[in-house]
C-alpha cells in the first residue's frame, strides 16, 4: 500500500536537538522566543540569524511578516470553512518550513515522514490543462481524508480490521489560472460511480474496472491514485496533485493544535459514532474528533450528502483556523509536534513530495482573496437502485458544474466567458463541439426528405445502455414523417441528449427533428464528426418517446431541486456559499438528549 517513508531518522524522536534543532536561532536579544517567518525555499531558502545558510538565501528578515495580519483581516469577511484548502496547504507548509529551517537534518526527517504515491493508477490519464494567453495554468488538487482500516493505530481508533481503506472525505480544489479565485467541489462518500482499472504501484496487483461502486471505495483499489483516476473519469477534469490525511492523522493534528472547536445547536448523542456533546461550542480532540467526523445520522437530515459533509467542512475549517492563529509559533516544541503530526499524517503525490514543494504551493495560493473561495457539493439524486442509502451524480447539473470547472469559470461569476476563446469541448462522451447553432436562415426540408441517424448513448458510468432505445426513437420519427430515419450502431455514452448536424445547410433540418421530439433548441449543435442530422439519446432520456421536461423534484441534491432556466446559474448561490462563522451544526431531533 502507498505511504512508504523515504529516508530520514527513525520516528520516535523526543527532543528537537536530536535532529539538529538550534534553539538559539529562535531567541531574540532578550532571550525570548521570536520565530521569524521563513523565506520561501523556492527562492533559495533563508539563512540563520547571522546570514549564514546554504549560500543562496540572504539571511534577512525582521520577523514581522505581513502574512498573518492579512489573513487576520480576512477572517471577519467570509466564512472560515471556505478557506480550508488554502490553509490545509499554505498553513501546514508554513509551519513545516518554520520548523525545518532550524536544521537541515530535521528538514530531511520531515521530508522522510511524508508518504508519497503515484498520481494516477489507471491508463486513462487526461492531458494537463493548457496555459491561457498569458501563460497561466489552472491548478486542480484532490484533497482526501482516509478512513483507513489497516494499521494498529487506525484500528485502535475504530477503523476496524476489515474492509480495507475508504476515502470518506473528497474535495476537488480548482485554482483559476490567474489565481483570482478558488472553487471547491465536494462529493458525498456514498456517491455511486464507475472505478477504472487500476494497478497497485507497490505490488503490481491489477484491480479490474468496477461499473458501479461507492466512490469512497476507490482508495482500496491500489491507493489514492485510483481515486484520482475515478475523479478524472467522472469529471473529465485533469487533476495535478493530491493530498491525503489519514485516519490516525486527524487525531494527531487535533492534538497538536490543542483541539478543534465545533458547534451544535442542541445536545447530541449518536449511538453509532458514539459522539456525545452538549449544545454550543466544544473543543474536540483525539478520538472525539474522529467521532465528529464520522457522525452522519445525528446531523441535519441524517444523510451523508448533507449532514456529514457539512460537519467535516466545519471541522477542517476550524482546524485550519487553529493552525493559522491558535498555535504559538514561538514555541519550538509545539512547532515540532505540529510538524511531526502534519508530515506523518500526509500522503501526497511525488510532485508535492517535499516540504519545499508544499511551501511553494502555499505561496502560490495564499494571495487568492478570501471572498473568492467558494465551495459546493456535487449535485446529486437518490440512487434509483438504493434511494435510501446511496446517491448518483445528477446527470445534467453535475455535467454543467464540471464544465464550469473545465472552462475555468468561477462559481461566483457563472456568466463569465470561458478562459479561452477556442471551440468548446465535446462534453462527457457526446459528439458535439459544444457550440450551439445560430438560428437557421433557410427553411427545413420536408420531413420525409431529411436523413436522420439515431444513436443510443443512454449508457453511462452508472448504468448499462437501454436495449433497443435507438429503435424506439427511430420508430417515433417514422410516425412523425421522418421516413429516412435509421439507427446508428456507433458506440457512445452521453450524459445529455443532443441533436448534431454538420456545418452548412442542415441546421434547419436538425431543429425540425429536435422540435418533433421535444428536444430543446440549445441541444442542437454543430459537429465535425457527423455527416447528417444525428440524434444522440443521452442518459437523461432513458424512456418514453417525448423528451422529458426539466425535473423539479424536491429530493434533488445540493445544487437545488428546481429546474434551471436558460438564463439562470448552473449552481444556486445558496449552495455555493453555505454557512457563516457563527453557524452551528443542526442536530437531527431523533438524536438529541
Confidence of residue 55 (pLDDT cuts 50, 70, 90): very low
Number of helical (H) and strand (E) elements in the chain, helices listed first: 14, 22
401 and 518 inside one domain = no
Q: What pLDDT, on the 0 to 100 scale, is given for residue 557?
A: 45
| Domain count within the chain | 2
Q: What pLDDT, on the 0 to 100 scale, is given for residue 74?
A: 40
Per-residue model confidence as pLDDT tens digits over 299-355: 987 766 567 777 877 887 777 666 655 444 456 677 777 788 888 888 999 999 998
Instruction: Flag whether pLDDT at 408 surpasses 90.
Output: yes
Among 55-69, 125-139, 272-286, 480-494, the minimum mean pLDDT is found in 55-69
Average pLDDT, the chain: 74
349 and 480 inside one domain = no
pLDDT greater at residue 158 or residue 587: 587
Contact 431, 424 (CB under 8 A): no
Q: What pLDDT, on the 0 to 100 scale, is given for residue 398?
A: 92
Closest by Cα among 96, 114, 120 to 237: 120
Continuous H helices in 453-498: 469-479
- DSSP tag of 348: E
Closest by Cα among 217, 189, 219 to 309: 189
Of the residues 521, 537, 553, which one is the last residue of a structural domain?
Answer: 537
Residue 456 covered by a domain: yes
396 and 477 inside one domain = no
CA distance 71 to 323: 12
469 and 353 inside one domain = no
Residue 428 covered by a domain: no
250 and 380 inside one domain = yes
Residue range(s) defining the domain that contains residue 484:
447-537
Closest by Cα among 442, 454, 445 to 504: 442
Highest mean pLDDT (candidates 247-251, 449-453, 555-559, 572-576):
449-453
- DSSP tag of 112: H
Cell numbers 460537519 correspond to 311
| 339 SS3 class | helix
Per-residue model confidence as pLDDT tens digits over 475-526: 999 999 999 999 998 877 777 888 999 887 688 999 999 999 999 888 888 8
Residue 54 covered by a domain: no
CA distance 294 to 216: 13
Residue 78 covered by a domain: no
CA distance 105 to 341: 17
Q: What pLDDT, on the 0 to 100 scale, is given for residue 402?
A: 94
Instruction: Flag whether pLDDT at 128 surpasses 70.
Output: yes
Among 77-86, 139-148, 218-227, the minimum mean pLDDT is found in 77-86
Instruction: Flag whether pLDDT at 94 surpasses 70.
Output: no
Residue 391 covered by a domain: yes
Virtual CA dihedral for 256, 262, 268, 269, nearest 10 degrees?
A: -20
Residue 165 covered by a domain: yes
Residue 265 covered by a domain: yes
Q: Which residues contact residue 69 at a Cβ distance below 8 angstroms, ignoring those fewer than 6 apart? A: none
495 and 386 inside one domain = no
Residue 516 covered by a domain: yes
Instruction: Flag whether pLDDT at 269 surpasses 90.
Output: yes
CB neighbours of residue 341 within 10 Å: 23
Closest by Cα among 388, 381, 249, 398 to 319: 249
Cα separation of the two ends of the chain = 42
Amino acid at each position: 500500500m502507498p505511504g512508504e517513508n523515504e529516508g530520514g531518522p527513525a520516528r520516535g524522536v523526543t527532543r528537537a536537538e536530536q535532529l539538529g534543532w538550534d534553539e538559539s536561532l529562535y531567541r531574540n536579544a532578550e532571550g525570548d522566543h521570536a520565530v521569524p517567518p521563513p523565506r520561501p525555499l523556492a527562492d533559495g531558502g533563508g539563512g540563520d540569524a547571522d546570514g549564514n545558510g546554504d549560500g543562496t538565501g540572504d539571511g534577512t528578515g525582521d520577523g514581522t511578516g505581513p502574512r498573518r495580519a492579512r489573513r487576520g483581516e480576512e477572517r471577519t469577511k467570509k466564512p472560515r470553512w471556505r478557506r480550508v484548502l488554502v490553509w490545509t496547504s499554505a498553513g501546514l507548509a508554513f509551519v513545516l518550513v518554520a520548523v525545518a529551517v532550524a536544521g537541515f537534518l530535521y528538514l530531511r526527517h520531515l521530508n522522510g515522514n511524508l508518504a508519497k504515491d503515484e498520481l494516477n493508477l489507471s491508463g486513462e490519464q487526461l492531458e494537463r490543462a493548457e496555459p491561457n494567453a498569458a501563460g497561466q495554468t489552472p491548478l486542480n488538487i484532490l484533497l482526501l481524508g482516509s478512513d483507513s482500516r489497516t494499521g494498529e493505530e487506525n484500528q485502535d481508533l475504530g477503523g476496524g480490521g476489515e474492509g480495507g481503506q475508504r476515502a470518506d472525505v473528497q474535495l476537488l480544489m480548482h485554482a483559476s489560472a490567474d489565481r483570482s479565485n478558488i472553487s471547491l467541489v465536494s462529493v458525498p462518500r456514498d456517491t455511486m460511480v464507475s472505478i477504472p482499472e487500476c494497478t497497485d504501484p507497490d505490488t503490481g496487483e491489477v484491480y479490474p474496472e468496477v461499473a458501479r461502486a461507492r466512490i469512497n471505495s476507490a482508495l482500496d483499489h491500489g491507493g489514492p491514485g485510483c481515486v484520482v483516476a475515478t475523479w478524472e473519469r467522472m469529471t473529465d477534469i485533469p487533476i495535478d496533485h493530491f493530498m491525503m490525511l489519514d485516519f490516525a492523522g486527524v487525531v494527531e493534528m487535533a492534538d497538536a493544535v490543542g483541539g478543534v472547536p465545533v458547534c451544535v445547536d442542541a445536545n447530541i448523542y449518536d449511538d453509532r459514532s458514539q459522539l456525545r456533546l452538549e449544545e454550543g461550542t466544544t473543543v474536540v480532540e483525539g478520538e472525539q474528533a474522529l467521532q465528529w467526523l464520522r457522525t452522519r445520522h445525528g446531523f441535519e437530515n441524517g444523510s451523508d450528502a448533507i449532514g456529514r459533509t457539512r460537519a467535516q467542512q466545519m471541522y477542517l475549517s476550524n482546524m485550519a483556523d487553529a493552525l493559522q492563529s491558535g498555535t504559538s509559533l514561538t514555541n519550538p516544541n509545539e512547532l515540532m509536534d505540529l510538524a511531526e503530526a502534519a508530515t506523518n499524517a500526509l500522503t501526497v503525490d511525488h510532485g508535492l513530495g517535499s516540504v519545499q514543494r508544499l511551501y511553494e504551493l502555499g505561496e502560490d495560493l495564499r494571495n487568492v482573496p478570501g471572498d473568492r473561495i467558494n465551495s459546493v457539493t456535487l449535485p446529486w439524486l437518490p440512487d434509483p437502485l438504493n434511494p435510501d442509502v446511496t446517491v448518483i451524480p445528477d446527470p445534467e447539473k453535475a455535467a454543467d458544474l464540471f464544465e464550469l470547472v473545465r472552462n475555468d469559470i468561477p462559481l461566483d461569476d457563472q456568466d463569465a466567458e470561458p478562459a479561452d476563446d477556442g471551440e468548446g469541448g465535446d462534453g462527457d462522451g457526446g459528439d458535439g463541439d459544444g457550440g450551439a447553432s445560430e438560428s437557421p436562415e433557410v427553411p427545413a426540408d420536408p420531413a420525409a426528405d431529411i436523413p436522420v441517424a439515431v444513436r443510443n448513448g443512454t449508457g453511462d458510468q452508472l448504468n448499462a445502455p437501454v436495449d433497443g432505445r435507438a429503435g424506439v426513437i427511430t420508430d417515433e420519427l417514422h410516425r412523425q414523417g421522418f421516413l429516412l430515419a435509421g439507427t446508428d450502431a456507433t458506440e457512445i455514452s452521453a450524459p445529455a441528449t443532443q441533436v448534431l448536424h454538420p456545418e452548412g445547410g442542415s441546421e434547419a433540418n436538425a431543429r425540425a427533428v429536435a422540435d418533433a421530439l421535444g428536444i430543446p433548441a440549445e441541444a442542437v449543435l454543430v459537429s465535425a464528426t457527423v455527416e447528417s442530422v444525428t440524434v444522440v439519446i443521452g442518459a437523461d432520456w432513458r424512456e418514453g418517446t417525448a423528451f422529458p421536461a426539466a425535473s423539479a423534484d424536491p429530493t434533488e441534491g445540493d445544487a437545488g431541486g428546481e429546474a434551471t432556466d436558460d438564463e439562470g446559474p448552473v449552481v444556486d448561490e445558496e449552495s455555493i456559499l453555505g454557512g457563516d462563522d457563527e453557524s452551528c451544526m443542526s442536530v437531527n431531533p431523533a438524536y438529541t438528549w
